[in-house]
């Protein structure tokens, strides 16, 4: 069974630009979550989607948005990029929404903002 696939693996953008990251969950998984990983901060929750609806949202500004398609694939968009947005962005899928369903993570997209 294929794992969670994130594209692209690496991305370099300049301040003020916008970026879209893509995530394909494990087949049959309907829940997709996004996390930001920065040194010293661990993994910060961005949002979770289930059945094309955002079910949970973390404490990030509105510049961070996402969506989920009918095939459970998800995209995350960051507009007006700032230097502090440089991070590893991780997507995770699970069989069902929230609760205690273990997350299966992709290898992430490393975003560098210059």
List residues near another protein by CB under 8 A.
4, 33, 35, 40-45, 48, 55-56, 58, 90, 92, 97-100, 102-108
- Distance in angstroms (rounded) separating the CA atoms of residues 20 and 30: 20
Q: Which of 74, 23, 77 is nearest to 53 (CA)?
A: 74
**Taking the complex as a whole, how short is the minimal distance between the CB of residue 68 and another protein, in angstroms?**
14
- Distance in angstroms (rounded) separating the CA atoms of residues 84 and 103: 26
- Distance in angstroms (rounded) separating the CA atoms of residues 114 and 111: 10
Q: Is-contact 56 77, C-beta < 8 A?
A: no
Residue whose CB is less far from another protein, 13 or 58: 58
**Taking the complex as a whole, how short is the minimal distance between the CB of residue 57 and another protein, in angstroms?**
9
Residue whose CB is less far from another protein, 17 or 51: 51
Residue whose CB is less far from another protein, 66 or 106: 106
**Taking the complex as a whole, how short is the minimal distance between the CB of residue 80 and another protein, in angstroms?**
25
**Taking the complex as a whole, how short is the minimal distance between the CB of residue 62 and another protein, in angstroms?**
18
Residue whose CB is less far from another protein, 67 or 105: 105
3-state SS track over 4-36: CEEECCEEEECCCCCEEEEEECCCCCCEEEEEE
């Amino acid at each position: 069974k294929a794992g969670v696939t994130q594209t692209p693996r690496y991305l370099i953008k300049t301040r003020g630009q916008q970026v879209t990251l893509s995530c394909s969950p494990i087949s049959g998984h309907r829940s997709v979550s996004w996390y930001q990983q920065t040194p010293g901060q661990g993994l910060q929750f961005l949002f979770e989607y289930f059945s094309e609806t955002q079910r949970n949202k973390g404490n990030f500004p509105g510049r961070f948005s996402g969506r989920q398609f009918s095939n459970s694939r998800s995209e995350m968009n960051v507009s007006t990029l700032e230097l502090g947005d440089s991070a590893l962005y991780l997507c995770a899928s699970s069989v069902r929404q929230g609760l205690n369903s273990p997350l299966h993570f992709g290898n992430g997209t490393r975003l560098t903002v210059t």
